[in-house]
Amino acid sequence: MTTLDFEAFSLSKNFIFESKNVELSNLIANESIAVFPQKSYVIRGIILKYIYDKNVIVLPEESKKAAVLFKKWAEEGKNVLIIDPTTSFMKTLVSLGVSYEPVCSSMNVFRLKKSDEYILEDPSPYNVVEKDLTKILNINCIPKLSLYQHPISNENRSLIIFENVKIPENAKLKFSIALHPQVWNPNKGDGVVFEVFIEHNGEKEKIFSKYIDPKNNPEERKWNDFEIDLSKYSGKNVTIILSTLPGPKNDNRWDWAYWGDLRIVRG
């Protein structure tokens, strides 16, 4: 076992997983580096024995130093998996400009990547039910770093505001919307309206509005993916506003609404 010469984590070479965890074994078999930000996996005995062609990193604690190194590796084109991180560690990676994509798994697994995109962060919440907006939500084996926005009422909007966002040339806003799987029950509310506004020079434009009701529409029981052309705002600094509203009955019970992986994609 080799220990890198800075605090917060050790590089443990050549670990393999118990055969009962075939899913993770197969994931790691195709990657050069796998990162466990929570050392509880070692304590649980998931890691069993050495092999000699892979690196598995176990973080005794999550740190910005570790995140900086992972960013460097991603920019170098190395394959880096982050396995079951805390929300705070993913937020640290995002704050450093690290991009990622979800890996379909029963656990929360993210692959870091080099990309011409940036993830929207540090929003200003207004009239929200819960101040801690950011969560990791896994739906149908697809984890996403998400913002939770429970609607209040049609007369009293909940808002999540991203100020001073610079829009690159020919950019798109990409995101997913969903309701939490625990409320996919027809007895729990009547769905949610998701809306996106852009404000620039004192003018506000609604650029997206979508009503989903996975409680009654099984085809919407997933991450519903969308992208919006932002080319008319190229080169401008804008405010992006997210809003959620209750369904047609103005019933906000069980409206556990989530925005997933909000990002600006260049070109």
CA separation for the pair 194, 224 (Å, rounded): 11
Structure tokens at 183: 């409320």
- The Cα 129–Cα 158 span in angstroms is 8
Query: In this predicted structure, what is the pLDDT of residue 30?
Result: 55
**Residue 38: predicted pLDDT:** 59
Place of tokens 């190395």: 78
Q: Is the pLDDT of residue 114 over 60?
A: yes
Q: Quick one: pLDDT at residue 108?
A: 86
Q: Return the pLDDT at 120.
A: 85
Residue 243 has pLDDT above 80, yes or no: yes
CB proximity list for 29: less than 8 A, separation 6 or greater? 54
Q: In this structure, what token pair is assigned to residue 267? A: 């070109």
Task: Read off the pLDDT of residues 3-44 as tens digits, 9 standing for 90 and up.
Answer: 322 223 333 333 333 333 445 555 555 555 667 665 554 434
Q: Name the residue ranges covered by the structural domains of the chain.
A: 10-115, 118-265
Q: CATH homologous superfamily for 118-265? A: Galactose-binding domain-like (2.60.120.260)
Residue 132's pLDDT is what? 78
**pTM: predicted TM-score of the whole model, two decimal places:** 0.83
Q: Which of 98, 93, 99 is nearest to 64 (CA)?
A: 93
Q: What residues does 155 pair with on adjacent strands?
A: none
pLDDT given at position 135 = 92
Q: Which residues contact 193 (CB under 8 A, 6 or more apart)?
A: 151, 209, 210, 211, 244, 245, 246, 247
183-222 in b/e form (b: 16+ CB < 10 A) is: bbeeebbbbbbbbbbbeeeeeeeebbeeebbbbeeeebbe
Residue-level pLDDT at 52: 34
Mean pLDDT, all residues of the chain: 80
Reported as a single tens digit per residue, the pLDDT across 159-215 is 999 999 999 998 999 999 999 999 998 888 899 999 999 999 999 999 999 999 999
Mean local confidence (pLDDT), 86-107: 87
Q: How far is CA 76 from CA 29, 66, 72, 79, 115, in A?
A: 20, 15, 6, 9, 12
Enter the tokens of residue 112: 């870091």
Residue 193 identity (one-letter amino acid): V
Mean pLDDT of 131-135: 84
Say if residue 143's pLDDT is above 90.
yes
Size of the chain in residues: 267
**Selection from 158, 191, 157 nearest residue 177 by Cα:** 191
Instruction: Let me know: does 140 contact 223? Beta carbons within 8 Å.
Output: yes
